[in-house]
């Protein structure tokens, strides 16, 4: 077995793992990343596209923001559509000028890989049989195989950034953690297409047939979604059926100008809310989807991962730079406080915009809520403050 030593072992080369790796490297802290897939697979995953101001600042701190600042789209508002009309919620007006950045996670991932390669970052791809050991000691380790050859990374700390299905969370003994979960009875059917956006900002549509979202990745590439039952299959949805359904759920002013085209990617995402407590066990720290999942309605997934990394990287920098462990000791409590606030917003915004039952009364109550929140300064502020992101 080959023996490798480092200060921080990072499991997972998604955005949270690579942002952490980059920031630690910039601060002189040795780290190694392991990833069970290859770079092409990780880069190709279609994910979020809305970045909060705090996430943008973190990417700038990590020195990976140049292309994002050139090509990303700054949005100062969103549209809520219902009853065949749309109402704009002015994010900047209600938050003292805060905005969001539309820039696909795929592009963030490319920028991070390029940055780590430029700095000679060590990433072990296509690893198998990952196991974590001695987590409560001052020298935990990560065992894995690569190309059939066993290896061990001995380190001071392990950052579990390996997603919902990774090994990090389940390496915490079941009697030492508590999982909270809600699985929704519906999912999002998403289509990516080389078509111009139908509007200048995102449209969140609540309709009696179900929720719809008109989003974008650039001025020429769009990402659209419709709410479907959990039992639906992608193969049952032709491109034409998808476009026809989307047009039914958005106001006529948008449906009449919507540009359609062949799908580049089409998939169904099951919606769930999930939180693991605590986010630290011994010298293992969970971050991102390894610790929590949110419905995509509020665009909080990648942004929550970013806030985790903000807290964790600062804790590690203080530990190695000042010998101060307060940031690491308080990591789980601080991260979870923000996680639960974001979980609440994502859950609530999903309730506000999705068809929850066949009850006509429920749908009318939903419309009444939408009328209130969009017609009230206080209501619009609630949406705007949460959408742009609570402070890190």
Q: Give tens-digit pLDDT for 101-132.
A: 999 999 999 999 999 999 999 999 999 999 99
Q: Which two tokens stand for residue 125?
A: 């791809």
**Residue 363 resides in a domain:** no
Q: Is 300 one of the annotated active-site residues of the chain?
A: yes
Q: Is 254 one of the annotated active-site residues of the chain?
A: no
Q: Give tens-digit pLDDT for 32-82.
A: 999 999 999 998 887 778 999 999 999 999 999 999 999 999 999 999 999
What is the maximal distance between C-alpha atoms in the chain? 65
**Residue 354 resides in a domain:** no
Q: Name the catalytic one among 103, 184, 331, 387.
A: 387
Q: Is 103 one of the annotated active-site residues of the chain?
A: no
pLDDT of the residue at 98: 96
Q: Which domain holds residue 167?
A: 2-48+105-180+272-348
Q: Name the catalytic one among 15, 75, 184, 225.
A: 75
Q: Is 387 one of the annotated active-site residues of the chain?
A: yes
Average pLDDT, rounded, for the chain: 96
Q: Give tens-digit pLDDT for 363-372.
A: 999 999 999 9
Strand, helix or coil for residue 16: helix
CA-based R_g, the chain, Å: 21
Q: Which of 35-44, 87-96, 152-161 has the lowest mean pLDDT?
A: 35-44
pLDDT of the residue at 49: 86
**Residue 99 resides in a domain:** no
Q: Name the catalytic one among 207, 296, 311, 354.
A: 296
pLDDT of the residue at 87: 98
Strands 31-34 and 122-124: parallel
**Residue 246 resides in a domain:** no
Domain of 164, CATH number, reads 3.50.50.60
Q: Is 296 one of the annotated active-site residues of the chain?
A: yes
**Residue 221 resides in a domain:** no
Q: Name the catalytic one among 266, 292, 300, 334.
A: 300
**Residue 21 resides in a domain:** yes
Q: Give tens-digit pLDDT for 165-189.
A: 999 999 999 999 999 999 999 999 9
Number of domains in the chain: 1
Q: How far apart are CA 70 and CA 377, in angstroms?
A: 33
Q: Which two tokens stand for residue 274?
A: 């999930």
**Residue 240 resides in a domain:** no
pTM score of the predicted model: 0.95
Question: Minimal CA–CA distance to 42: which of 194, 168, 162, 169?
Answer: 162
Q: Name the catalytic one among 79, 103, 184, 204.
A: 204
Q: Give tens-digit pLDDT for 226-279.
A: 999 999 999 999 999 999 999 999 999 999 999 999 999 999 999 999 999 999
pLDDT of the residue at 387: 97
**Residue 35 resides in a domain:** yes
**DSSP label at 165?**
T
User: 15: cis peptide before it, omega within 30°?
Assistant: no
């Amino acid at each position: 077995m080959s023996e490798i030593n480092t200060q921080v072992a990072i499991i997972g080369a998604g955005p949270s793992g690579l942002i952490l790796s980059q920031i630690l490297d910039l601060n002189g802290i040795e780290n190694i990343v392991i990833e069970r897939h290859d770079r092409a697979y990780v880069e190709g995953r279609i994910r979020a596209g809305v970045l909060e101001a705090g996430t943008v600042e973190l990417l700038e701190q990590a020195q990976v923001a140049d292309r994002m600042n050139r090509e990303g789209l700054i949005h100062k508002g969103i549209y809520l559509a219902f009853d065949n009309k749309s109402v704009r919620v002015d994010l900047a007006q209600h938050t003292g000028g805060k905005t969001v950045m539309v820039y696909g996670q795929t592009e963030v991932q490319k920028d991070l890989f390029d940055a780590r390669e430029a700095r000679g970052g060590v990433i072990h791809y296509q690893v198998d049989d990952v196991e974590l050991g001695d987590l409560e000691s001052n020298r935990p380790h990560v065992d894995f195989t690569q190309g059939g050859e066993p290896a061990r990374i001995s380190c001071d700390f392990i950052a579990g950034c390996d997603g919902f299905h990774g090994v990090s969370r389940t390496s915490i003994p079941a009697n030492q953690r508590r999982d909270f979960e809600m699985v929704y009875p519906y999912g999002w059917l998403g289509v990516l297409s080389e078509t111009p956006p139908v509007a200048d900002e995102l449209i969140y549509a609540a309709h009696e047939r179900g929720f719809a979202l008109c989003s974008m990745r650039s001025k020429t590439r769009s990402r659209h979604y419709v709410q479907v039952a959990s039992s639906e299959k992608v193969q049952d949805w032709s491109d034409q059926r998808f476009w026809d359904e989307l047009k039914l759920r958005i106001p006529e002013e948008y449906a009449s100008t919507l540009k359609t085209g062949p799908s580049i990617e089409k998939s169904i995402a099951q919606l769930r809310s999930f939180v693991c407590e605590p986010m630290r066990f011994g010298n293992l720290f969970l971050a991102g989807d390894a610790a929590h999942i949110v419905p995509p309605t509020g665009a909080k997934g990648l942004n929550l991962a970013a806030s985790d990394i903000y807290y964790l990287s600062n804790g590690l920098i203080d530990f190695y730079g000042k010998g101060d462990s307060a940031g690491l000791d308080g990591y789980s409590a601080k991260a979870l406080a923000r996680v639960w606030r974001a979980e609440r917003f994502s859950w609530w915004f999903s309730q506000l915009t999705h068809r929850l039952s066949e009850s006509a009364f429920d749908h009318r109550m939903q419309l009444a809520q939408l009328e209130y929140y969009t017609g009230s300064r206080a209501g619009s502020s609630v949406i705007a403050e949460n959408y742009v992101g609570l402070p890190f």
